[in-house]
Structure 1
Amino acid sequence: MSAEEWLYVGMGGRNTIQHVIEGDGTLDAEELRTAVAAASTACPGTRLRRQGRRWVDSGTAPLVHVLPGPFDGQLLDSPALRKPLSPSGPTCEVLLFPGDPVTVVFRACHAVTDARGLLPWAVDVFRVLRGEQPLGAPARWNSDEFLRQLDLPDGLPPIPQGVGKLAWPSPLGQLPRRGRGVLWRRRTVDGSHPAITAKVTTALAAEYGPEGRGQFFVPVDLRRHDATIRSTAWLSQALVLDVAPGDSWEETHRRMLTALSAKEELALRTEPRLLQAPLPVLRLLSAAVDRAAVRKGRFSALGFVTHLGAFALQDFSAAGFRARTLYTLGGTGPGSPPSIEMTESAGHTEITLAWQDGPGVAERAEALLDHVEEALSPRAHRHWAGNDTARALPTDRSVVRLFREQVRRTPDRVALSGPEGTVTYAELSRRADAVAAELARRGAGRGSVVALLAGRSVAGVAGLWGVLRAGACYLPVDAQHPDIRLAGLLADAGAAYCLVERPYEQRDCIPDGCVPLVLDELMAAAADPERSGAAGDDAFEDVEVAPDDLAYLIYTSGSTGRPKGVQIEHRSLQHYVHWATREFGVDAETRLPLLTSPSFDVSGTSVFLPLLAGGEVILLRDEPHHLSLRRLLAESGANTLNLTPSHLDLIGQLDMHPVGFRTIIVIGEQLRVEVAARAQEMFGDGCRIVNEYGPTEATIGCTAYTFRPETDLHRAVVPIGMPADNTQVFLLDAQRRFVAPGEVGEMYLGGAQLARGYRGRPDLDRERFPRLADGTRVYRTGDLARVLPSGGLEFIGRIDNQVKVRGHRVEPAEVAQCLEGHPAAARVVVVARARPGRPGKSLFAYVLAHAEVTPKELTAFAAERLPRYMVPAAIVLVSELPYTVSGKVDEKALPDPFTEEPGAGSPLRAEVAAPVDPVEEAVAQVWARTLGVERCRLDGQADFHRMGGDSLSLLAMVAGVCREVLESGREEAFMAQLATIISEPTLDRVVALSRAAATGDRQPQV
């Protein structure tokens, strides 16, 4: 034994090292016992017992005790934690508390190990539980033997002055003459905190030290002198750290680093002669020091402060059990001050405080932890007035019941209008009932996923309500997406049925196990009131859904290359509907067009809000373009719009001044002030331009801001405003710490609108839906924002490469993985780049090929598998990929597709011939202006998409051609060929179609 170990033997096991691991799932007690035995064989220091002044390996594995759960991780008052571990008996043990959370406690007598020494054993236990081999900790040296192996300078640093004297008051006040045992208190703080020891000691000295000064013991792991050693032994020494009055934490940190550089932790060694003292003498000595400390109210320092470092919780997880947190419960010795232990994991810092219990100690311990928390995470950073959003729902009825009640109130009111005519609430309800009845007959209900392959049509809306009435969850998919992609989504979701609108029933996109049902056939009888009955007593009896039942499932792009399904519960949808209805002023007079794809969650605003308020949904069958939007604004009677900034920008080019519009809701992308101001002028001062923000994972939208020209024109982008009812926005930095007011941080969303999580992706749930220190579940958006002086939020950008295209999230990694599926592609890098002179970004793919292939072939391959908005605007073949010194692809060094002189393989190289006629020149000028490129770079084979154009800029281009090239009355003929333009967007083709429209020819000549 070393002298330190013998001294703690004399304390009779009074000081115990304890690591607590809390987690979700289950742990089998017998499996845990087996793992403990195997890990203790690899770590024999956990089987030690005392024989005289020596440790011997007993060969007996530590015991596992299963105790009644759940474990109280706040009060930490379990008697099992206070049970001493005698140096003469088993010196290590494991406690298992079943319950929620499952809690495992690794305990060891401090005479045989320290906090760092106990961890290798705990890690090995979980390695065995995972079926892995333990790493082991075979080294048997004590601290004296270990230090002798090191090449240390002769002589030890002098012991700092005053060490060992009972000279410091306790921050926790006086102790009673008879102690009550150890008391622990715990605090969890968000984020990891560099220089945390200096920050904590400086804060404590300023608050509790005499005249603002203090002396602390900072245990230092001696293993730092030999990183190769794996040992469970007690290999730590305390560094004496002094804090002077007025010191900043930076000065304290500098002093501590200087002391560590000089190896000053080696100075405070236990007197070697104590190893010769009999145990009764050591017990008397310990008791005397305790009595003197209590009598004088003075202790050996202001505190012990230990930072054990950061830990990966997967090291303490196993099959069926996922660690949620890890923290340490320290002990206390004779005359010792309070002990503060700190660990970091999963974006949190766990702080525990240990000391002898006594009157008022618990209250003062909480106050001390309050002070430490304030030093690390100021309350002014954690609490923002904008998050005071608590508001009770006006009713607890689900959207299903609310719609049924609306139908009964206004059965003859128009619910839907559009190319198919008008449909009343009663007629829509009968159609929905027909769908619900068939689904119920087939056994679909709560827990079932029903896909919906339909357009912006009566059948699509009726199908949606039918699925909800059956109690199932609807999965809207876009008919414009390739069959391969749709089949993958339906299979991933586990959709039992797919409701298909008749134009799409021949599509080859329904996987095995999913039953197709033709919507038109289901609703045929329901269209006749005499055959189907009224919407009242004879209606389908709706399934009573619970708040935590799934309402819908929406797929978004995945950074791992695989789309991910976002699961939205009825509770979240209820909260959004009530907030948005009030925020946007939706009522029975609202007439709101459905412009976006049903697979885009924004469409929920256009469907749910008006129909639950007695308003009208205007259906637009065709993809929005300048002519259909012009008709919509001038002829449909719409008074509210819900659309993306790109669509609003397109509308702004129509040179119209529609009247009667009350609200324009803009969502999906960053809204530029230029676009908002033009829309305000176009729709008039009486129309509100509302910028809504929200990821799919937070149910459509969760913040909103009304554009104010008088105050916002100096900005570049429109703010995103304040959180919705019962929604919170937290701004955290890269270390998960709250940022100061006005600083930029990543948005973490909390509250009632959060999704349940991702379909079948618990790994992503853990990554994207973490919890804050206070237990608040949040969604990590990846979006950057700051709080403006006016109090609202301003969106700044992204922390990653994710981009928005037509409001849809696109992960370049998913596009790259798709292209790498081509047999000729060896490696693909996809980046988003802005077009010169144009807002927004386009996707460009750089392909390193190992076989002959053309960009056109690769584009066709991607188009068969990805939505149109995810197909790269250009694919560039490269002979090599540039890398940074860190081994990552250097995106800045990739060929620039917008350069004046593109390199070999660039899709933008063009040998431009002289213009053939004025039509070609006029069309080329429209292209050049829309794409932001020089006219000289456009020849007849120039491809609009490969030149950097996306789907919205293509619509802007065709609108420009109609406006500047064609005569009035010829636009309809040209726009009738929109599908041809989309499939073959070359300059020659657009010129030919322009000539044909101008002359009335049916067959354009190219």
Structure 2
Amino acid sequence: MSDHFKNVVDAIAATASLSPERVAICDGTTTMTYAEMMERASCVSLKLRRHGVLPGDCVTVALDHDIYMIPALLGVLRVGAIFVPIDVGHPPERTKAIVATCNAKACLASSNLFDGAQLFHADATILLDFNGHAPSDDSTPDPCDSAYILFTSGSTGKPKGVKIAHRSLYNYARWAANTYFKDGQHVTALHSPLTFDFTMTCIFPPLMAGSTIRVFHRSEQAFTMRDILKCPEVTVLKLTPAMLAVSNELPLYHDNLKRLIVGGEDLKAEIARQAANKSRGLLEIINEYGPTEATVGCMYHRFDSEAEVAPSVPLGKPIDNTGAVLIDQDNKIVAGAGEGELFVFGECLAEGYLGDAGATERAFREDVFGIKRLYKTGDLVYQDIDCNYFFRGRMDRQIKIRGHRIEFGDVESAALTHPLVYDCICFETKNSDFSELGMLAAVLSSIEKSELVEHLRTRLPQSMVPSRLDICFDLPRNQNGKVDLATVLGKFRS
């Protein structure tokens, strides 16, 4: 992939012009060529302009998980607007907060999600269709313009909007296209939601490389993985460690799958080794690390089944135009082997948090250690003598479950809106090799656990509802008045 482009829009358009009749997207019954995809993207950009959408405007997208989602996203970017994924199935108050924070000019919605989207946008909801024809006069986004905003869990109970610029998206997508898709005509599986930044790997890099996206309709995880593994077309698959563990329990239907990209949470070496052994060593497994604030992925490591001896697969080394340093407790850079908090820098960094200068200033450090800008990941990491990085854990009240980042404070804030809950604490528990979210809630009078769970479900995405929950009248505290976490955890083990 050439490096002379400045954004994914121009790079994909160039690929389409070289191979217009190549299949860009398919779903098992319908195919769309690169020429057809770009024509539909132009129709969308024309429709957005006619509704008054201008470069720099936010457009929320409530789109079906189908082949038409991709030209819709390209259409938003072609007009110079910023796409903001929403899920109309999430609790309404949360979605309203997202729409209000980004001050969306419009919402682009698929037909069967149109009514749900109107609850948040009223007259500003635009039905996705591909009628009309647009001339090729779309604005070329500047590298410094925002491409998309993803809302993640926030410690105050309010979702945080992470702004990603075109230069950062292009830097990642160009690297991923060259790393994952350059060695042949690949087909990658698209199965995860657009609200998950993990999904960007399955959209922009393959299109820049001239590969094909195979869309799988979302269903129960085991069924989705089975369908993907049975599909002989798929050669590249991105999945979380939890999905990989599910896949390890399923048959290996064919040998066409060549590469697994694993990301979203800590990858245990044994799970990767099981997948490698199952494929008789024919499968390349890549561990990709990156918080949303570092644009999908900023470090990677190719798994070596024979050489890996640590419990977790290394995070690896930084991708192109990206760097990393560890800062110890004395606020000094860790030189050589040692442990500290991971800070990343370079083209990967997000612009910051939408409408929250304070949070941006706390997370993104300016002019430190001679580096123009650093992102404080909150991850405790060990660095070996070869400068490979290994995940040790979190340094704050945050975990990742099945790739979804969850701030404990976000869940606790939702629980405290129940009139009988006056205090609570969230914590991480383990189920085999995977994290689970637990909560102990202190109540004023007796309530059923099921009542509190239902209360949380109306306010949080399902991924943020604790899988283990208990109720008490007082949280256990130590002599200093702080919550005694050891006692809390003991309660859940007993």
TM-score interval w.r.t. the shorter chain?
Answer: over 0.9
Instruction: Give the structure 1 partner of residue 16 of structure 2.
Output: 407
Q: What is the rounded CA distance, in whole Å, between the counterparts of 2:435 and 2:172 in structure 1?
A: 30
Residue 448 (1) aligns with residue 57 (2):
yes
Could you tell which deviates more after superposition, 655-664 or 458-467?
655-664
Deviations 1:740-767 (A, max 9, x none): 3211110000101100000001001110
Q: Residues 683-694 of structure 1: matches in 2 within 5 Å?
A: 683-694=279-290
Deviations 1:792-838 (A, max 9, x none): 21111111231111101101110000111112211121112123xx1
3-state secondary structure, aligned to 1:445: coil
Which of 258, 263, 266 aligns to 1:670? It is 266
Residue 630 (1) aligns with residue 226 (2):
yes
Which of 816, 821, 831 aligns to 2:427? It is 831
Partner amino acid, structure 2, of 1:439: L
Instruction: Give the structure 2 partner of residue 432 of structure 1.
Output: 41
Deviation at 1:457, TM superposition (A): 1.1
Partner amino acid, structure 2, of 1:696: T
Residue 787 (1) aligns with residue 396 (2):
no
Instruction: Give the structure 2 partner of residue 861 of structure 1.
Output: 455
Residue 754 (1) aligns with residue 346 (2):
no
Instruction: Give the structure 1 partner of residue 444 of structure 2.
Output: 850
Q: What is the rounded CA distance, in whole Å, between the counterparts of 1:697 and 1:778 in structure 2?
A: 11
| Larger fraction in strand | 2
Q: 1:587 to 1:428 in 2, by over 3 A?
A: farther
Deviation at 1:886, TM superposition (A): 3.3
Q: What is the rounded CA distance, in whole Å, between the counterparts of 1:574 and 1:436 in structure 2?
A: 20
Instruction: Give the structure 2 partner of residue 620 of structure 1.
Output: 216
Q: Is the 8 A contact 2:109 2:117 kept in 1?
A: no
Instruction: Give the structure 1 partner of residue 331 of structure 2.
Output: 736
Q: What is the rounded CA distance, in whole Å, between the counterparts of 1:568 and 1:514 in structure 2?
A: 28
Deviations 1:536-557 (A, max 9, x none): xx64422111110000101111
Deviations 1:726-745 (A, max 9, x none): 11101001342112321111
Instruction: Give the structure 2 partner of residue 378 of structure 1.
Output: none
Structure 1: 4+ residue segments shifted above 6 A: none
Q: 1:624 to 1:636 in 2, by over 3 A?
A: farther
Q: What is the rounded CA distance, in whole Å, between the counterparts of 2:153 and 2:269 in structure 1?
A: 28
Deviations 1:94-129 (A, max 9, x none): xxxxxxxxxxxxxxxxxxxxxxxxxxxxxxxxxxxx
Q: Is the 8 A contact 1:592 1:640 kept in 2?
A: yes
Partner amino acid, structure 1, of 2:462: R
Q: What is the rounded CA distance, in whole Å, between the counterparts of 2:86 and 2:246 in structure 1?
A: 25
Deviation at 1:511, TM superposition (A): 2.9
Deviation at 1:695, TM superposition (A): 0.6
Q: 1:407 to 1:582 in 2, by over 3 A?
A: closer
Instruction: Give the structure 2 partner of residue 640 of structure 1.
Output: 236
Q: What is the rounded CA distance, in whole Å, between the counterparts of 1:446 and 1:782 in structure 2?
A: 34
Q: Is the 8 A contact 1:495 1:514 kept in 2?
A: no
Partner amino acid, structure 2, of 1:423: M
Partner amino acid, structure 1, of 2:51: R
Deviation at 1:895, TM superposition (A): 6.1
Which of 90, 98, 106 aligns to 1:497? It is 106
Q: 1:514 to 1:664 in 2, by over 3 A?
A: farther
Deviation at 1:411, TM superposition (A): 1.7
3-state secondary structure, aligned to 2:116: coil
Q: Residues 546-695 of structure 1: matches in 2 within 5 Å?
A: 546-586=142-182, 589-656=185-252, 658-695=254-291
Deviations 1:45-68 (A, max 9, x none): xxxxxxxxxxxxxxxxxxxxxxxx
Could you tell which deviates more after superposition, 421-430 or 679-688?
679-688
Q: What is the rounded CA distance, in whole Å, between the counterparts of 1:563 and 1:707 in structure 2?
A: 34
Q: What is the rounded CA distance, in whole Å, between the counterparts of 2:79 and 2:232 in structure 1?
A: 32
Partner amino acid, structure 2, of 1:576: Y
Deviation at 1:455, TM superposition (A): 3.1
Instruction: Give the structure 1 partner of residue 465 of structure 2.
Output: 871
Q: 1:802 to 1:749 in 2, by over 3 A?
A: same
Instruction: Give the structure 2 partner of residue 423 of structure 1.
Output: 32
TM-score w.r.t. the length of structure 1 is: 0.48
Deviation at 1:851, TM superposition (A): 4.2
Deviation at 1:669, TM superposition (A): 0.6
Residue 698 (1) aligns with residue 307 (2):
no
Task: Give identity over the alignment, percent.
Answer: 31
Which of 76, 79, 82 aligns to 1:467? It is 76
Partner amino acid, structure 2, of 1:395: H
3-state secondary structure, aligned to 1:822: coil
Q: What is the rounded CA distance, in whole Å, between the counterparts of 2:245 and 2:382 in structure 1?
A: 25
Q: Is the 8 A contact 1:496 1:514 kept in 2?
A: no
Q: What is the rounded CA distance, in whole Å, between the counterparts of 1:662 and 1:488 in structure 2?
A: 41
Tell which structure's C-alpha radius of gyration is larger: 1
Residue 778 (1) aligns with residue 387 (2):
no
* Structure 2: runs of 5 or more not aligned: none
Q: What is the rounded CA distance, in whole Å, between the counterparts of 2:127 and 2:468 in structure 1?
A: 38
Deviation at 1:651, TM superposition (A): 0.4
Q: 1:491 to 1:514 in 2, by over 3 A?
A: farther
3-state secondary structure, aligned to 2:469: strand
* Structure 1: runs of 5 or more not aligned: 1-391, 527-531, 533-537, 901-1006
Deviation at 1:643, TM superposition (A): 1.1
Q: What is the rounded CA distance, in whole Å, between the counterparts of 1:743 and 1:411 in structure 2?
A: 51
3-state secondary structure, aligned to 1:711: coil
Q: What is the rounded CA distance, in whole Å, between the counterparts of 2:189 and 2:70 in structure 1?
A: 13
Q: Is the 8 A contact 2:316 2:389 kept in 1?
A: yes
Partner amino acid, structure 1, of 2:362: E
Deviations 1:970-998 (A, max 9, x none): xxxxxxxxxxxxxxxxxxxxxxxxxxxxx
Which of 97, 100, 120 aligns to 1:488? It is 97
Q: What is the rounded CA distance, in whole Å, between the counterparts of 1:795 and 1:509 in structure 2?
A: 43
Deviation at 1:856, TM superposition (A): 1.0
Deviation at 1:415, TM superposition (A): 0.9
Question: RMSD of aligned C-alpha atoms?
Answer: 2.0
Q: What is the rounded CA distance, in whole Å, between the counterparts of 1:508 and 1:829 in structure 2?
A: 34
- Give the paired residue count: 493
Residue 894 (1) aligns with residue 477 (2):
no
3-state secondary structure, aligned to 2:41: helix
Q: What is the rounded CA distance, in whole Å, between the counterparts of 1:450 and 1:750 in structure 2?
A: 28
Q: What is the rounded CA distance, in whole Å, between the counterparts of 1:502 and 1:598 in structure 2?
A: 17
Deviations 1:448-470 (A, max 9, x none): 11111123212221211110011
Partner amino acid, structure 2, of 1:698: A
Instruction: Give the structure 1 partner of residue 315 of structure 2.
Output: 720
Deviation at 1:872, TM superposition (A): 1.0
Q: Is the 8 A contact 1:703 1:721 kept in 2?
A: yes
Structure with the bigger RCO (C-alpha within 8 Å, sep 6+) is 2
3-state secondary structure, aligned to 1:776: strand
Q: 1:737 to 1:705 in 2, by over 3 A?
A: same
Q: 1:735 to 1:559 in 2, by over 3 A?
A: farther
Q: What is the rounded CA distance, in whole Å, between the counterparts of 1:743 and 1:393 in structure 2?
A: 37
Residue 769 (1) aligns with residue 378 (2):
no
Deviations 1:581-629 (A, max 9, x none): 2222445611001121111111111000111111100101122533332
3-state secondary structure, aligned to 2:370: coil
Partner amino acid, structure 2, of 1:793: Y
Instruction: Give the structure 2 partner of residue 711 of structure 1.
Output: 307
Deviation at 1:775, TM superposition (A): 4.5
Instruction: Give the structure 1 partner of residue 340 of structure 2.
Output: 745
Q: 1:511 to 1:479 in 2, by over 3 A?
A: closer
Deviation at 1:477, TM superposition (A): 2.0
Q: What is the rounded CA distance, in whole Å, between the counterparts of 1:849 and 1:476 in structure 2?
A: 36
3-state secondary structure, aligned to 1:800: coil
Partner amino acid, structure 2, of 1:859: V
TM-score w.r.t. the length of structure 2 is: 0.95
Deviations 1:29-49 (A, max 9, x none): xxxxxxxxxxxxxxxxxxxxx
Deviation at 1:506, TM superposition (A): 2.2
3-state secondary structure, aligned to 2:203: helix
Partner amino acid, structure 2, of 1:846: L
